[in-house]
Every structure is written in C-alpha cells, then in structure tokens.
C-alpha cells in the first residue's frame, strides 16, 4: 500500500490510477491551477478527466495506436500534462523534449523515437516541427495549442488541441465505452515514457520506463516522506526532467495533491512565493540562485539589517550543526534561535516561497555543503536525493533527523545499493528501467542481472549513508596521487554570489586551475557601486578589479583544502557556459570533454608560462545566429602555499 491507500500492483497503470482519482475527487477538488493574466485559474479533477479523455480519443481518431510515440515540447502548463496523460490513456508512449532544445536535438529525438504525433505549445515549437518533418518519416501529425501567430499556417498535418478534442467528442458518440476499455487493457509492465538522458559525452540515449517503474518509485518515496491530498506543489521544472515527472505524476497522482503551474518560466520564483508549496524539488542550480538572491539582498541592506542577518545566520548555523551531529539544542540557543527566526529567517523563508515547506529536495547534480548548510541554517528541511532517469527518479534520500550534508542519505524502501571494487555505485529496485531504446549494447553494459550500473563513483559510510564522489570519468588524480572530485571544488566556488559557473581542471597535472564565469547581474551591480565602467559581460569579466574580486572568492574556497587540491591559476571567461553552445547539458551539467576541446587554448595557457590567452571563437544564439569573438584573456596566479 502507498500512503494514499492505493495498492501498487503489476496490474496498475498510470491511466488506471488517473481514472480512479478523477472518480474519487470529481468536481469537489482542484487538481491543478494555472496562472494566466495575473489570475490563478483552477481545474477540478472532473475538468482534468474531460480534457484528457477527449484529447486521447481525438489522438486515437488521428490514428494513434498502443505502443506509438507522442512527442511533447512546451512550458509547464495543464495542456502539457493533459497531452501526456492522453497519450498514456491511448496506450501510447510519451516522449518529452526540453523547451530550449536546438533544432538538431529536436530532429534527433523525434526521428530516433519514431514519434507519430508531435504536440507543441506555440508557433515557435510548430516551426521546429515543420522544419524537421521531412527528415522524420514517422511523424504524421503536429498538434498546437496557442493560436497566436498561427493564422497563416495551412499545412494539412497541423491541427489545434481544441480541434483534436472535438474529434474526440465525435469519436465518443460512435464508441462511448472506448476510453475506459482502452485504459483497462494496460498493464504495469507496459512502457509509458521514453526519456532521453542528457548526454554529457555523446548523443542522448532513450531510457524506457514502465508504469510499474514510475508508480513503485512514487510509492517508495512517499513511504519515507508522506504527502497529503491537501498539499500544494509548484510544477515549473521541465517535464523532460525525470524529477518533475516523479513529483507531478509518480507522487502527484498517488497522493492527489494540487499541481500549480506558473504564468511564465521567468515568474516561477514569484509564483512559488504566492502558492507557498508544501513540497519542493529542484536541481542545485535553483537553490544556488536563491542563495545568491539572499546574499545580494544582504550586500544591499542597511547596517542594522546586516547585523540582524549576521546574528540570525550565526545562530542558525550553530543550531543546524547541533542537529546534524544529533546533539540536543540547549534552551539558551533555542531562545536565540527563536529571536533570529522572528527577526530575519521567517521573512526570508517567506520571500523564497518556503514558508509552508515540509520537505525540500535537491538532486540531478552535486550540491555543495555550503549551500546545503545555508538552507538548514534558515530552517528549511532540505534533503539530498540521489538517482537517475534509469531508476525512474530516485533511489536514495536523506531521512528526517538523519541528515549529513556530505552524503545523499540512505536507500528508499525496496532499493538495494552496492559498490563495486572500482567504486562504482550499483542499484537494484522495482523502479530500474527496462533498457535503452534501439541500443542493446548500452543496455547490456548498464543493466547486469537486474543491477543498474550508474557510472558514478562513491562509497557507503559507517552510518550506511551513500557518499557520491563524482561521475567515474570525471574523477581527477591530484599531483600527490589522491583522487579528487572537481565537482566538489566547483560547488564551493559557486557559493560566492559573484560566481555563476566554474570549471576545475587538473587531472594528472602538477596543479589545479580553473575557468571562471562571473554572475553578470551581481558583479555588474558591484561594479556600478565602485564606479567601474563597462558595456558588456565580456568587458566586465576582464576588468582588473573583477579579477581581484574573483581571486578573493577562490582564495576563500582554497582555505581548508589540501595544497594539491587548491586552485593555483585561473582565467575569467568572456561569457557564461551555455547549453545552446553545447557546453552544458539541458539539465545544466558541465560537458567536460566538450569544453576541454573547445577551450583547449585556455587550458594550454593555464599550464604554460604565458599570462595572456588569445581567443578567436564563435558563440551560437538560440535562434541559430552566430557571433565571432576575438579577445585576449588574462591568466591570474594564486599563491597556494604548502
């Protein structure tokens, strides 16, 4: 049984669960809300049911068969979830793409997945579909949602969501029992989602996940941290990210909590504040952004506000550390903590939309201990989770009262974890995926006797917690032969509000170096206050004063590291690493091999005697435009001591 009283068996599918919850809640409960034109518009479970039903029947009347693929791209909106659920109810398989995918990526995924129907939100997505249609022979129909700009499109394969739903209503008149009959034909072992993993090294691979995978994952996470049907959740991370599917579908459907969709991706933070969700899941980048927000607010505050913040934070850290060490909090500290909370932290939590938060999770990449402790000092119950697309989301999570900031916690129920002699993390659970689509070779390497080989290096500590070191291929060897995680160093650097991205280099070299990307808005404001003139990111990044500022941030991060792990030289890059330039994956992980190749001249300069790098390169904008950049970058040395 899951916490919702629903038994998860091999017979259950996501559509069967959807049907059950719609009948249970009907018109009496809000299933989702969307903010539009400044107003929150509610949809009951009955509205959810009807929209999905007619969209699903419409897709069937367009020729969608069980096992066919439906590709979807767009922002987080009710229509996106309706399209996914409609495809699943028809027995088809959902394939999500990131909104900011470049044309080549869209073409590759649509073609590789054999998608038959493409659902796009706006004119922009429709244009992408039209331009790749000739190269994707299986693609038959393109469905669009937003009519803006669509007036002059007359291709016969284009159709609006409303029209598809009208086709569904016609279909129902002919076959009134079809919808529920088709749903009841499904089985838990059927594939429900085809998920393309963000390749840090090669083309993305398509992971096949079954209904059973998704539902057992939700059940086992909810067994650790129960949610309730009175809870609110804000859905703002791309549906193409497994973490969002896990919260919106795997857990959301079982628990029946309300999903809230922001007005625009840019207003997500503001909308989170309005809703005050009970549960939250985000990649470290989101929390890093929030930390930066608070730090910038602190820098801009009056003297008295700064002193109040320093007092509250000092007390918050002390109390958090006692809790981490599982030691009681003395009465005096509790009183001080109460004062600090009332003065500062309550307002800050409210400002970040965290006032009602019961559990907050982070995963998808490593989070630095500094950020992690920062949120605990604020009184936010932040937990690390560890997992991957291939386990339908997560396998490991922190437990209340047993949180260690340098680990990712312990396995969720029904999950086994072991470490190979080489230090690779292996997982076995009912949520382990079925394999990669059209890639038996990769499947055989990753899935062995039911064990999932993660490609991550780690170990299990004396408390049974998993410590994730880094991707096996990314672990570097220091000059003294010790293994070291570059990610650990990078997350420490990013705790500074002035640093947006960092890339640590130094595998099997004499010393560590780094390529730094400043945060343009924060450093820009700092430069304005110092009366430093600049016109662009590129110009600002190369100012001697900015180099000095970045140097101070690096020296701070170097402090308690062993000498061979300290950064000895760095360069400020003339731009921020960007997924459109293929430097980051769509989930914001650094593609090390790619940047190593792209910025080879910088790496060579960092390991030679020169103090300047001549750059001549191109950057790509989202619309495909390219700009050539010729510039000189300064190489700065740092004294690392012994």
**Mean pLDDT for each consecutive 10-residue tract of the chain (642 residues)?**
71 97 96 94 98 98 97 95 98 94 89 97 93 95 93 93 98 97 97 84 85 96 94 93 92 95 90 94 86 87 93 94 92 95 92 93 80 91 92 92 88 95 94 96 94 91 86 80 84 88 91 93 91 92 94 90 89 89 80 89 90 79 71 87 66
CATH of the domain at 291: 3.40.50.12780
* pLDDT confidence of residue 114: 97
Furthest C-alpha separation in the chain: 81
CB-side exposure of 297: number of CA atoms within 13 Å? 15
**SS3 assignment for 229-259:** CCCEEECCCCCCCHHHHHHHHHHHHHHCCEE
CA distances from 547 to 486, 496, 506, 608, 636 (A): 21, 14, 21, 19, 8
Q: What is the DSSP string of 304-322?
A: HHHHHHHHHHHHHHHHHHH
> Rounded distance, CA 299 to CA 526, Å?
9
Do 461 and 549 fall within a single domain?
no
Tell whether 555 is covered by a domain.
yes
C-alpha angle 565-568-572 in degrees, rounded to nearest 5:
115
* pLDDT confidence of residue 2: 45
Do 142 and 271 fall within a single domain?
yes
> Rounded distance, CA 454 to CA 388, Å?
8
- What's the pTM? 0.85
DSSP state of 583: S
> Rounded distance, CA 144 to CA 282, Å?
28
> Rounded distance, CA 606 to CA 506, Å?
10
> Rounded distance, CA 578 to CA 314, Å?
36
Tokens (6 digits) for 617: 């390169």
Tell whether 625 is covered by a domain.
yes
Tell whether 52 is covered by a domain.
yes
* pLDDT confidence of residue 1: 40
Give the closest residue to 53 by CA, choosing from 88, 12, 25: 88
State which of 472, 499, 514 marks the end of a domain: 472
| Phi and psi torsions of 337, nearest 5° | -65, -40
Under a CB-based contact definition with an 8 Å cutoff, are residues 426 and 417 in contact?
yes
Tell whether 350 is covered by a domain.
yes
| Phi and psi torsions of 200, nearest 5° | -80, -15
> Rounded distance, CA 498 to CA 525, Å?
10
DSSP-derived 3-state class of residue 617: strand
> Rounded distance, CA 500 to CA 518, Å?
5
Do 191 and 65 fall within a single domain?
yes
Tokens (6 digits) for 77: 């909106």
Q: Which residues contact 305 (CB under 8 A, 6 or more apart)?
A: none
Give the closest residue to 537 by CA, choosing from 491, 586, 588, 501: 501
* pLDDT confidence of residue 292: 86
Tokens (6 digits) for 546: 């900015």
Tell whether 1 is covered by a domain.
no
Using CA atoms of 322, 328, 333, 335 in order, give the dihedral in degrees to the nearest 10.
130
Do 204 and 70 fall within a single domain?
yes
CB-side exposure of 626: number of CA atoms within 13 Å? 4
Do 465 and 481 fall within a single domain?
no
What residue numbers bound the domain in which 563 lies?
A: 475-637
Q: What is the DSSP string of 96-119?
A: EE-TT--HHHHHHHHHHHTEEEEE
CA distances from 206 to 109, 190, 209, 304, 450 (A): 9, 16, 10, 54, 18
Residues β-bridged to residue 567: 512
* pLDDT confidence of residue 333: 95
Q: Which residues contact 107 (CB under 8 A, 6 or more apart)?
A: 132, 135, 136
Tokens (6 digits) for 639: 């004294």
Residues β-bridged to residue 571: 515, 635
CB-side exposure of 70: number of CA atoms within 13 Å? 29
State which of 259, 278, 297 marks the end of a domain: 278
* pLDDT confidence of residue 129: 94
Q: What is the DSSP string of 272-336?
A: HHHH--SEEEE-HHHHHHHHHHHHHHHHTS-HHHHHHHHHHHHHHHHHHHHHHTT----HHHHHH
Do 362 and 483 fall within a single domain?
no
> Rounded distance, CA 381 to CA 244, Å?
19
> Rounded distance, CA 90 to CA 581, Å?
37
Do 518 and 485 fall within a single domain?
yes
Residue 396 CA to its chain's centroid (Å):
16
Q: What is the DSSP string of 67-80?
A: T-EEEEESSS-HHH
Tell whether 4 is covered by a domain.
no
Do 413 and 543 fall within a single domain?
no
Do 133 and 238 fall within a single domain?
yes
Tell whether 164 is covered by a domain.
yes
Do 332 and 224 fall within a single domain?
no
Tokens (6 digits) for 147: 């009519």
Do 253 and 348 fall within a single domain?
no
Tell whether 8 is covered by a domain.
no
Q: Where are the alpha helices (DSSP H) in 535-609?
A: 537-541, 544-558, 592-598, 600-606
CATH of the domain at 553: 3.30.300.30
CB-side exposure of 489: number of CA atoms within 13 Å? 29
Under a CB-based contact definition with an 8 Å cutoff, are residues 77 and 239 in contact?
no
Under a CB-based contact definition with an 8 Å cutoff, are residues 426 and 451 in contact?
yes
State which of 278, 294, 321 marks the end of a domain: 278
> Rounded distance, CA 472 to CA 478, Å?
15
Residues β-bridged to residue 630: 616
Under a CB-based contact definition with an 8 Å cutoff, are residues 130 and 110 in contact?
no
> Rounded distance, CA 428 to CA 448, Å?
10
Do 390 and 467 fall within a single domain?
yes
Q: Name the domain count of the chain.
A: 3
Give the closest residue to 233 by CA, choosing from 255, 214, 223, 248: 248
């Amino acid at each position: 049984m899951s916490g919702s009283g629903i038994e998860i068996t091999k017979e259950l599918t996501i559509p069967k669960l959807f049907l059950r919850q719609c009948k249970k809640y009907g018109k009496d409960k809000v299933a989702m809300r969307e903010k539009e034109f400044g107003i929150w518009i509610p949809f009951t479970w009955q509205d959810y049911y009807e929209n999905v039903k007619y969209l699903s029947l419409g897709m069937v009347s367009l020729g969608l068969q069980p096992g066919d693929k439906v590709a979807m791209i767009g922002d987080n909106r009710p229509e996106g979830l309706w399209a996914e659920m409609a495809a699943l109810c028809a027995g088809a398989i959902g394939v999500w793409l990131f909104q900011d995918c470049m044309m080549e990526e869209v073409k590759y995924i649509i073609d590789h997945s054999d998608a038959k129907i493409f659902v796009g939100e706006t004119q922009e997505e429709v244009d992408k579909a039209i331009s790749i249609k000739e190269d994707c022979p299986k693609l038959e129909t393109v469905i669009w949602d937003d009519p803006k700009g669509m007036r002059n499109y007359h291709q016969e394969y284009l159709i609006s969501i409303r029209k598809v739903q009208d086709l569904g209503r016609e279909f129902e008149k002919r076959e009134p029992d079809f919808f529920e009959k088709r749903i009841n034909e499904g089985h838990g072992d059927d594939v429900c989602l085809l998920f393309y993993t963000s390749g840090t090294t090669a083309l993305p691979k398509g992971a096949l996940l079954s209904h059973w995978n998704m539902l057992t994952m939700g059940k086992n996470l909810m067994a650790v941290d129960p949610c309730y049907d009175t809870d609110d959740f804000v859905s703002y991370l791309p549906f193409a990210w497994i973490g969002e599917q896990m919260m919106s579908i795997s857990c959301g459907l079982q628990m029946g909590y309300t999903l809230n969709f922001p007005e625009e991706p840019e207003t997500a933070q503001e909308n989170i504040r309005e809703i005050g969700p009970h549960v939250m899941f985000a990649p470290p980048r989101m929390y890093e952004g929030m930390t930066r927000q608070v730090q910038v607010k602190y820098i801009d505050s009056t003297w008295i506000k700064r002193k109040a913040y320093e007092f509250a934070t000092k007390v918050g850290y002390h109390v958090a550390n006692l809790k981490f060490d599982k030691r009681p909090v003395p009465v005096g500290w509790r009183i001080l903590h109460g004062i600090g909370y009332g003065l500062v932290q309550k307002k800050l939590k409210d400002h970040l939309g965290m006032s009602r938060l019961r559990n907050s999770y982070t995963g998808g990449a490593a989070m630095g201990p500094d950020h992690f402790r920062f949120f605990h000092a604020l009184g936010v119950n932040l937990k690390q989770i560890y997992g991957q697309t291939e386990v339908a989301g997560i396998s490991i999570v922190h437990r209340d009262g047993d949180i260690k900031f340098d680990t990712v916690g312990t396995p969720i129920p029904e999950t086994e974890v072991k470490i190979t002699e080489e230090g690779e993390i292996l997982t076995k659970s009912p949520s382990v995926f079925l394999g990669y689509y059209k890639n038996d070779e990769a499947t055989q390497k990753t899935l062995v006797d039911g064990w999932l080989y993660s490609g991550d290096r780690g170990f299990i500590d004396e408390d049974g917690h998993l410590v994730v070191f880094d991707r096996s291929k990314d672990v570097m060897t220091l000059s003294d032969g010790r293994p070291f995680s570059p990610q650990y160093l990078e997350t420490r650097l990013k705790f500074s509000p002035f640093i947006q991205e960092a890339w640590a280099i130094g595998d099997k070299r004499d010393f560590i170096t780094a390529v730094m990307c400043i945060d343009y808005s924060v450093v820009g404001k700092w430069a304005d206050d110092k009366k430093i003139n600049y016109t662009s990111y590129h110009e600002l990044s190369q100012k001697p004063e900015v180099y000095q500022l970045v140097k101070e941030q690096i020296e701070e991060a170097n402090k308690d590291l062993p000498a061979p792990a300290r950064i000895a030289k760095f360069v400020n890059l003339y731009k921020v690493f960007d997924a459109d330039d293929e430097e980051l994956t769509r989930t914001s992980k650094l593609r090390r091999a790619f940047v190593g190749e792209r910025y080879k001249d910088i790496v060579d300069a960092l390991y030679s005697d020169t103090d300047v790098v001549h750059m001549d390169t191109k950057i790509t904008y989202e619309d495909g435009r390219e700009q050539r950049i010729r510039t000189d970058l300064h190489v700065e040395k740092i004294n690392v001591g012994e």
